[in-house]
Amino acid sequence: MTDHVQQNRLLSVEHLTTGFEQHDRFLPAVIDVSFHVSAGETLGLVGESGSGKSVTALSIMRLVEPPGRIAAGKVLYRERDLLTLPEREMQKIRGGEIALIFQEPMTALNPVFTIGNQIEETLLIHGRATRRTARQKAIELLDTVSVPEPQKRVRDYPHQLSGGLRQRALIAMSLACEPSLVIADEPTTALDVTIQAQILDLLRDLQQRMGLALLLITHDLGVVAEMADRVAVMYAGRIVEEAAVRELFGDPKHPYTRGLMASMPGGEPGRRLRAIQGTVPPLGQLPPGCSFAPRCPDRFEPCPTAHPGDTTFGAGRTVKCYLHGPAVESVPLPLTAAARTGTDR
Amino acid sequence: MALLEVRDLVKEFTRKQGLFQKASVVRAVDGVSFTVESGETFGLVGESGSGKTTTGRCILRLIEPTSGEVRFKGEDVQSFSRARLRQARRDMQIVFQDPYSSLNPRMRVGDIVEEPLVIHRTGPKSERRARVAELFDLVGLDPSQLSRYPHQFSGGQRQRIGLARALALSPSLIIADEPVSALDVSVQAQVINLLMDLQQRLNLTYVFIAHDLRLVQHICNRVAVMYLGRIVEMGPTGRLFAAPAHPYTRALLSAIPLPDPDARRQRILLDPRSFDREASLREVGAEGHLAAV
């Protein structure tokens, strides 16, 4: 890797492990996760519930609360490790440099303040406006995210807005300080499909206009296919496959990725879907060896012994699966060994 | 004769605006008519607020419709006495969206599935117990887990329990209200397969209420698209998806994110002025493809 490419990396997560303390046990929710996001690109982080994708986002923002704990790893943002930054510095990063958009706009907004107040507060805290200019700036921001009649809407309370408008207001707030990176955690999951389409179009448009880097967290492969340049697929706390979006959809290599794509409705109507058997193992009940092995149609001898490490295919394409190579993961084992109890099949 | 016939169904809700203001009336369902043949899967699609859930509940009289007619096996459900309605409900059941809130957390799952059998007084305890074990087996659950509580099951398993409960009295019609939308994709597929298997084995008829068009396209024989309380388009699934006639249907179909990075996307935005809200359904294609244009 040349220095030039390294510099291009806005965010680089290295060997991140985050988990929860419970009765003197450490239950890992994110295990040895590494990925990077370059300026202006969209990385899709896909996974089902319990895969660790939201905990990854919270770890980057250092918003993991006890009993949760970041146990290991680095989060390099513009080559500074966010995990070792003093809290005061970190507060400048949050919202100022990296913005987080949540799934549920109703709970992310404060119901007793107008959306104008809330956007202005963000601007004032980060010193991006004065009391006199804040209102005007807030109106401009609402206009940027295509809220109709922003002069009027700025005085509305969250409950007076529809779900789609609330999400737009939230995006306006996150853009207030002109961040370089936006982390969007299921930004459209709570919305209807036509509204979802509008919000995705908006995000894509803003990204191009402002040169934003976007870390898009979703469970929906359709959303990923539309939005992402690269994709990282998470399963039970690990990134099991990473690839450019066309490579991933054209030639999925991990059996979980393949299973996920095959289980989507489509193909000949009325045909049985190719479901993945079983369910995601609950936190702290990871099976020994590969976490996906108990559900995997392709498992063979090495799978239950140790979790596979990354096998690399060309630039930026990795997969954790013994089908593609003998690489064994280098994670210190006590982490997973502590969690060896049965699986939910 | 159609198994289910819904004609001009209307449901109005009155909403109090404030202490001193007059109550306003919202028409959640605004003159909905359709028929469902025995053995088919009829999809009711729409976004939030379209009235699809209210329609489903009015059919079962879980909420009383304001006006209109619901005929089940030729009989007018509206005219049923309480006793007759209870009897009819053995034959028409509902599966709810949320597998977390629709099961009583303080009851053992065996008792949850047995409850309808107890209410409808079907046979002695031993027979009921045998039936519950059979139902567990039918929906792919392990009968040895009958004495567990709902929280000990995953979302997909809970939805199977809800389904076992709905099947307990051997109904012919099941209204499935977003039965898989709370589940992860991989688990969703398991439950969808189960629904399709059961339909074949038990000759069930489904009214499948959903917002996920990909899913509807996969499992429904016929579809009705609802928008603001009305059916704006209805027809055989293949025809409707291939040649949508109503502007709303087109906008809805164009909004689905496709799992293909190279798919050509042409988003069609809905302009509410581009169609007449009051238009009634008329034939736009073969095999009963209707649209309000």
Does residue A13 lie within any of the structural domains? yes
Domain-embedded: residue B270: yes
Task: Give the closest residue to A242 by CA, choosing from A250, A255, A253.
Answer: A253
Domain that holds residue A14: 3-97+179-263+276-337
State the CB neighbour count (10 A cutoff) for residue A19. 26
Cα–Cα distance list, A340 to A53, A248, A333, A345, B98 (Å): 22, 31, 11, 15, 31
DSSP single-letter state for residue B145: G
Helix axes A255-262, B185-202, angle to 10 degrees: 50
B110 belongs to a structural domain: no
User: Could you count the other beta carbons within 10 Å of the beta carbon of residue A196?
Assistant: 23
**Residue A283's closest CA among A332, A338, A241?**
A338
Could you tell me if A12 and A1 are in contact, meaning their C-beta atoms sit under 8 angstroms apart? no
Mean pLDDT of all residues belonging to chain B: 90
Q: Is the pLDDT of residue A332 over 70?
A: no
Instruction: Give the domain extent around B44.
Output: 4-91+171-291
Nearest 10 degrees: CA dihedral of A20, A26, A28, A32? Answer: 120
Do B185 and A49 make contact, defined as CB atoms within 8 angstroms? no
* pLDDT classification of A44: cutoffs 50, 70, 90: very high
Strand order in the sheet with A9-22: A25-38, A9-22, A68-77, A80-81
Q: Which amino acid is at B192?
A: I
Task: Decide if A124 is inside a domain.
Answer: no
Average pLDDT, chain A: 87
Taking contacts as CB-CB distances below 8 angstroms, the residues of chain A near B185 are: 48, 219, 221, 260, 263-264
User: Would the pLDDT of A214 be above 90?
Assistant: yes
Whether residue A158 lies inside any domain: the answer is no
Can you give the pTM of this predicted structure? 0.87
Q: What is the mean pLDDT of residues A293-320?
A: 90
Distance in Å, alpha carbon of A159 to nearest chain B alpha carbon: 14
The answer to the question of residue B50 being in a domain is yes
User: pLDDT tens digits, residue range B144-153?
Assistant: 889 999 988 8
> What are the angstrom distances between the C-alpha of A217 and each of A30, A43, B25, B27, B149?
14, 8, 40, 37, 33
Chain B residues touching chain A at CB-CB below 8 Å:
47-48, 154, 156-157, 184-190, 192-193, 196-197, 211-215, 217-219, 237-238, 251-252, 254-263, 265, 267, 270
Our CA-based measurement puts residue B6 at a distance from the nearest CA of chain A, in whole angstroms, of: 25
* Phi, psi (rounded to 5 degrees) for A149: 50, 60
- Confirm whether B188 is domain-assigned: yes
Q: Would B180 be classed as within a structural domain?
A: yes
Q: Which residue has the higher pLDDT, B232 or B262?
A: B232
pLDDT, tens digit, 9 for 90 and up, residues B161-202: 999 999 999 999 999 999 988 888 888 898 899 999 999 999
What's the distance, CA B153 to chain centroid?
24
B285 within some domain: yes
Rounded to a whole number of angstroms, the distance from the CA of B85 to the nearest CA of chain A is 33
CB A232 within 8 A of CB A42: no
Per-residue pLDDT averaged across A198-219, rounded? 91
- The CA R_g of chain A, rounded to the nearest whole Å, is 21
Report the C-alpha gap between B52 and B59 in whole angstroms: 11
DSSP code, position B198:
H
Cβ within 8 Å, pair A245-B261: yes
- Helices in B35-184 by DSSP H: which ranges? 52-59, 82-89, 109-119, 125-138, 155-167
Residue B246 confidence class, pLDDT cut points 50, 70, 90: very high
Q: Tokens representing A98?
A: 């990296």
**Rounded CA separation B79/B63 (Å):** 14
| Other CB atoms within 10 Å distance of the CB of residue A45 | 29
Instruction: Examine the pLDDT at A338 and tell me if it is beyond 60.
Output: no
pLDDT (0 to 100) of residue A329: 64
3-state secondary structure at position A312: strand
* Confidence band of A102 (pLDDT split at 50, 70, 90): confident
- A267 or A44: whose pLDDT is higher? A44
Q: Would you state the pLDDT for residue A330? A: 57
ipTM: 0.83
The DSSP H or E segment spanning B75 is strand B75-76
User: Is the backbone peptide bond immediately before A67 cis, with ω within 30 degrees of 0?
Assistant: yes
Whether residues A269 and B254 touch (CB distance < 8 A) is answered with no
A124 in contact with B at a CB cutoff of 8 Å? no
pLDDT for B76 equals 94
Total number of domains in chain B: 1
Q: How far apart are CA A183 and CA A174, in angstroms?
A: 10
In A259-302, the DSSP E strands lie at: none
Nearest-angstrom CA–CA distance, A316 and A245 = 11
Residue showing tokens 């965010």: A11
Domain assignment present for residue A105? The answer is no
Q: Is the pLDDT of residue A328 over 70?
A: no
Q: How many CA atoms lie within 13 A of B141 on its CB side?
A: 31
Report how far residue A175's alpha carbon sits from residue A211's, in angstroms, rounded to the nearest whole number. Answer: 12
Residue A10 sits in a domain whose CATH number is 3.40.50.300
Contacts of B156 in chain A (CB under 8 A): 279
Chain B residues whose beta carbon lies within 8 Å of the beta carbon of residue A200: 257
Number of structural domains found in chain A? 1
Q: Give the CATH number, domain containing residue B262.
A: 3.40.50.300
pLDDT at A286 over 70: yes
Provide the terminal-to-terminal Cα distance of chain B, rounded to the nearest Å.
28
Mean pLDDT of A173-182: 90
Contact B261 A273 (CB under 8 A): no
Q: Is residue A269 part of a domain?
A: no
Instruction: With cut-offs at 50, 70 and 90, classify the pLDDT of residue A336.
Output: very low
Residue A82 lies in a domain: yes
**Closest alpha carbon within chain B to A228:** B261
Structure tokens at A215: 């870390």
Please report which helix (H) or strand (E) contains residue A139, including its range: helix A131-144
Residue A153 · residue A85 · CB < 8 Å: no
The continuous run of DSSP H or E covering B189 comes out as helix B185-202
Say which residues have a Cβ less than 8 Å from residue A219's Cβ, sequence separation at least 6: A46, A47, A48, A49, A186, A189, B184, B185
Q: Where are the alpha helices (DSSP H) in A162-220?
A: 163-175, 193-210
Cα B256 to chain centroid, rounded: 21
Tokens of B126: 């031993």
B72 and B3 Cβ atoms separated by less than 8 Å = yes
Whether B227 maps to a domain, the answer reads yes
Whether A38 maps to a domain, the answer reads yes
The pLDDT value given to residue A343: 35
Residue B184 is nearest to which of A49, A163, A200, comparing CB atoms? A49
Report yes or no on B80 lying in a domain.
yes
- Burial environment of residue A233 by CB neighbours within 10 A (0 to 12, 13 to 18, 19 or more): buried
Residue position matching structure tokens 């991989």:
B186
Q: Which residue on chain A is closest to B266 by alpha carbon? A: A197
